[in-house]
Amino acid sequence: MASQTLAPGAAHRPRLRMLSKRHRPEMLAGYLFILPTVLLFLVFVGYPIVRSVYLGFTTWSGFGSPSWTGFHNYHRMFDDTVARQAFRNTLVFAAVTTVLQTVLPLLVAVLVNATWRRFGIAARTLLFIPGVVSFVVSGVIWKLVLDPNLGLLNKLLDGIGLDSLTHSWLGESSTALPAIMVVSLWQALGLNMLIFFAGLQGIDPTLYEAAEVDGAGAWPQFRYVTVPGLRLVTGIVISLNLINGFKAFDLIYVMTQGGPNHASEVLGTRLYGLAFGTTSGAVPQFGYASAMSVVVLLLCTAAVVVQILLNRRAAR
């Protein structure tokens, strides 16, 4: 039983070393193949991230050289009422959209998989179409739908006698962000449903048969077979939704630009306004905006950590 005391893979290690010597030219060729991609990644992703982290510790208007100010920008965020609101909104937006955009697509995927087999392709296609539309186009379309005077939604509510429920959806502080969340859900539902649907195809049908033999109904089957079987996929969907929630920008910018009075302001729209928009007036605040973008980066990294933890649990 000596082999049992060996670390996994130890027995193969000498063979692998030999293989690596023999295949060194192949390995070199492999590295050469990925080199262009790695270079592109470093130039267009790696360098900007490092540069932004650096700029976050400076004051820079885009002219001349940045001046080092240490943690001033991060301290400023604590005192900045709009930044605090943007941070809160970002967390709320990410949390709510993650829950909605995970639970609903899962249920829809299960429905499509179980009850609409005949119409599965048509249903999947219809649900997936919004995901193909760009965020900017979606924003423009929904801005028209939610128009307080000419919008389809208010007209519809008026038409069925629910005029008391009409709102200036994007013009009221209480409804602006929730309205954008609904649009975000509309956009993400199809893609997330498709991911879950693919995951459902990977669950062994005999597990359902065994559950049925044991007398389990639809709910227990869902709870004890489907959900555990989709743990890995769910982890991916959750982390993708979290990342998309934390870096939310385009939809919100097109629909409200963070208004009214910052009610739908998130970190993405705020940092854009400070760096490239008219928020800072004639002098852009690249340093402060970069510090905000670093916060977004940290939040996205946290989302990835969440996914890794979920994957670990799923693998146990």
Question: Scanning residues 50 to 69, which ones bind another protein (CB under 8 A)?
Answer: 51-52, 55, 60-66
Read off φ and ψ for residue 282, nearest 5 degrees. Answer: -75, -15
CB of 200 to another protein, least distance (A): 18
CB of 258 to another protein, least distance (A): 8
Q: At what angle do helices 135-145 and 176-201 cross, to 10 degrees?
A: 130
Residue from the set 44, 70, 78, 160 that interacts with another protein by CB under 8 A: 44
Interface with another protein (CB under 8 A), residue total 89
Residue from the set 2, 9, 205, 213 that interacts with another protein by CB under 8 A: 9
Site string for another protein, 220-239 (x = CB under 8 A): ------------x---x--x
What is the spatial distance between Cα 196 and Cα 265, in angstroms, rounded to a whole number?
Answer: 31
What is the spatial distance between Cα 104 and Cα 99, in angstroms, rounded to a whole number?
Answer: 8
Selected range binding another protein among 103-111, 157-165, 220-228, 244-252, rule: CB under 8 A: 244-252
Read off φ and ψ for residue 67, nearest 5 degrees. Answer: -110, 130
| Footprint of another protein on 176-205 (CB under 8 A) | none
Query: What does DSSP say about strands 58-59 and 67-68: parallel, antiparallel, or unpaired?
Result: antiparallel
Residue from the set 98, 102, 138, 256 that interacts with another protein by CB under 8 A: 256
**Max intra-chain CA distance, the chain:** 80
Residue 283 binds to another protein (criterion: CB under 8 A): yes
| Footprint of another protein on 146-175 (CB under 8 A) | 146-150, 167-172
Cα angle for residues 192, 138, 82 (degrees, 5° grid): 95
What does the DSSP 8-state code read for residue 20? H
What does the DSSP 8-state code read for residue 23? T
Whether 59 contacts 67, CB under 8 Å: yes
Selected range binding another protein among 114-122, 188-196, 205-213, 280-288, rule: CB under 8 A: 280-288
| Footprint of another protein on 70-89 (CB under 8 A) | 76, 80-82
CB of 207 to another protein, least distance (A): 20
Give the start-end residues of each E strand in the chain.
Answer: 58-59, 67-68
